[in-house]
Amino acid sequence: MELTSLTILEAGRLLRRGEVSAVELTESVLDRIVAVDNQVRAFLTLTPELALEQARAADERLTAARRSGEGDLPALLGIPMAVKDVLCTEGVPTTCGSRILEGFLPPYDATVVARLEQAGYVLLGKTNTDEFAMGSSTENSAYFPTRNPWDLSRVPGGSSGGSAAAVAAHEALGALGTDTGGSVRQPAALCGVVGLKPTYGRVSRYGLVAFASSLDQVGTLTRDVADSALLLSIIAGHDAQDSTCVDLPVPNYLEALSPEIAGLRIGVPEEYFGPGMDPGVEATVREALGQLEALGARLERVSLPHTSYALPVYYLIAPAEASSNLARYDGVKYGHAAPGADELWELYKRTRGEGFGAEVKRRIMLGTYALSAGYYDAFYLKAQKVRTLIRQDFDRAFEKVDVLAAPTSPTVAFPIGARVEDPLQMYLSDIYTLSLNLAGLCGISVPCGFADGLPVGLQILGRAFDEATILRVAYAYEQSTPWHTCHPSLSVGQGADPAGC
């Protein structure tokens, strides 16, 4: 039995029965990281000592529970996981993939991290990310690019590429990511894992280092849908420390999973099958739609007519919010401070010039321009009005159907370096994921096959706070196909042969 290939739920059952210890499981995953992460580069920071300390504590509790007959144990007790390096972890470096926060040690945990700790998880380390989550390939990290485990010459997607690659390469049983314009779902699709973006407000953003506050949402990356349902049940729920976090009951998402979707209405947006999509991706997704129909779902064509505006709207709103959020990095309170500055403005200029990378600077300038006097009404305000139209498109579609199904990404993973000099082509990587963030709705990407030897993702989109339904549809599809059982061989080339299918 390969411990590193277990799902969270499988590992949890073994731990509770005493068939494996938390230390054995954690050591197995740490050994896997040592063996493959020099190739994949999924982690920015590793915490092996902390992980083994937490694993030993988990074993003590598991042993005591077996002796006493205690059955109500924390859901993640002894499970080794990873956290994207934009979420604060007390005493563990949180850099956001940026030199400006190099060496920063947060004095507190993000709410989602605290909830994982309460559930008994084991922290393996912090995963690589595009700087301040601004990117679609993890090439914008100030430290190094992460590589796709299916083909080490290709990107893993972004900005949660480190978390997606860690799960795909069996360097973690699950991971947290964040999704501002597709940054959980797109890397999940490119790495052949499951990526869940909850509804805006379902999960607390307290302790998430802000990129675009009205768009950011914490999500999960896992090997299968059941693990996503479990993690969402743990991290979701009201948090008084986040005013945008909604006070609604959290369903038992695991209990909502069912292979039965007969009669469910699934909308297929015509705008999500447009120019620029790889033919192999389209064929694979069309086949997945046919499988949903074979399971008894009713497919219906729907239109989201303002989809073509999502990209320009996003790249006005997100940079505008980023320009405001990133103004706090000035070399005074924390993070990098340029040495030798004689006056305050010189300190600001040199600190930000040295600390921020090219993409972050580009977005700060775009956002500052959009918010500047004389341009606010023409750009930012107009973008917010079109954002409302995009949300209304979804509202009308959901009057007719229960969920929407579409490709997650228009292409498979592209070669490292192929789009670095062409920002527009890089931005188009998220063309099918941006709208969901602008509308504040929920979505999940699930593996649906391969094109050119590389993974393809099927995206299920749902109404606000209806994560249970998208999880149910994704689970039904997953259980009727072999794709979630596939794993990469970590070979370099034009695509790795799927193993374990």
Round to whole Å and give the CA distance between 363 and 385. 21
Give the pLDDT band (50/70/90) at residue 274: confident
Instruction: Give pLDDT, residue 333.
Output: 86
Look at residue 314 and tell me whether its pLDDT is greater than 90.
yes
Angstrom distances, CA of residue 35 to CA of 28, 85, 343, 402? 11, 22, 48, 44
Catalogue the active-site residues. 84, 159, 183
Q: Where are the alpha helices (DSSP H) in 263-380?
A: 279-294, 310-325, 344-355, 358-371
CA distance 27 to 30: 5
Query: What's the confidence (pLDDT) of residue 499?
Result: 62
> What average pLDDT does this structure show over 80-89?
98
Neighbouring CB atoms inside 10 A of 158's CB total 32
Q: Please name which of 489, 492, 495, 210 lies closest in space to residue 367, comparing C-alpha atoms.
A: 210
Count Cα neighbours of 362 within 13 Å in the Cβ-side half-sphere: 13
pLDDT of residue 464: 98
Task: Name the token pair of 236.
Answer: 């979701």
pLDDT band at 340 (very low <50, low <70, confident <90, very high): confident
Among the listed residues 256, 229, 263, 197, the one whose alpha carbon sits nearest the alpha carbon of residue 401: 263
Q: In what order do the strands lie in the sheet with 403-407?
A: 43-46, 122-127, 80-84, 174-178, 218-222, 194-197, 442-451, 454-462, 403-407, 265-269, 298-302
pLDDT at residue 281 tops 50:
yes
- Position 454 scores a pLDDT of 97
Torsion sign over Cα 123, 128, 131, 137: negative
Mean per-residue pLDDT over the chain, rounded: 96
Q: Which of 134, 133, 164 is nearest to 41 (CA)?
A: 164
Q: Identify the CATH number of the domain defined by range 3-307+388-485.
A: 3.90.1300.10
pLDDT tens-digit series, residues 106-161: 999 999 999 999 999 999 999 999 999 999 999 999 999 999 999 999 999 999 99
Task: Show the 3-state SS of 143-191.
Answer: CCCCCECCECCECCCCCCHHHHHHHHCCCCCEEEEECCCCCCHHHHHHH
Tell me, what's the pLDDT at 494? 42
Identify whether the C-beta of residue 457 lies closer than 8 Å to the C-beta of residue 446: yes
Beta bridge partners of 222: 174, 194
Question: Residue 49 class from Cβ within 10 Å (0-12 exposed, 13-18 middle, 19+ buried)?
Answer: exposed
- Residue 492 — pLDDT band, cuts 50, 70, 90? very low
Q: Considering the entire predicted model, what is its pTM?
A: 0.97
DSSP 74-126: -TTTT-EEEEETTB-BTTB---TT-GGGTT---SS--HHHHHHHHTT-EEEEE
pLDDT at residue 493, rounded to an integer: 45
Please tell me the distance from the alpha carbon of residue 307 to that of residue 315, in angstroms, as a whole number.
14
pLDDT grade for 500, boundaries at 50, 70 and 90: low
How many CB atoms are closer than 10 A to CB 420?
Answer: 17
Q: Taking the C-alpha atoms of 103, 107, 112 and 113 in order, what is their torsion angle to the nearest 10 degrees?
A: 70
Return d(Cα 367, Cα 298) in angstroms, integer: 42
The residue among 497 and 105 whose pLDDT is bigger is 105
pLDDT recorded at residue 465: 98
Asked whether 151 and 492 are in contact (CB, 8 A), the reply is: yes
pLDDT per position as a tens digit, 411-468: 999 999 999 988 889 998 999 999 999 999 999 999 999 999 999 999 999 999 999 9
CA 406, CA 432: separation in Å to the nearest integer? 8
State pLDDT tens for residues 54-63: 999 999 999 9
- Return the residue matching tokens 């033919």: 279
Using the Cα atoms of residue 145, residue 146, residue 151 and residue 155 in order, give the sign of their dihedral.
Answer: negative
Pairing of strands 194-197, 442-451: antiparallel
**Nearby residues of 68 by Cβ (< 8 Å), 6 or more positions away:** none
**Burial of 273 by CB count in 10 Å (0-12 exposed, 13-18 middle, 19+ buried)?**
middle
Average pLDDT score over residue span 334-349: 91
Of 31-40, 176-185, 219-228, 417-426, the poorest mean pLDDT is in: 417-426
- Tell me the pLDDT tens digit for each residue of 375-425: 999 999 999 999 999 999 999 999 999 999 999 999 999 999 999 988 889
Average pLDDT of span 253-276: 96
Provide the pLDDT confidence category of residue 200 given band limits of 50, 70 and 90.
very high
Q: What is the pLDDT of residue 275?
A: 87
First to last CA, the chain: 16
Asked if residues 380 and 358 have their Cβ atoms less than 8 Å apart, the reply is no
In this structure, which amino acid lies at residue 377?
D
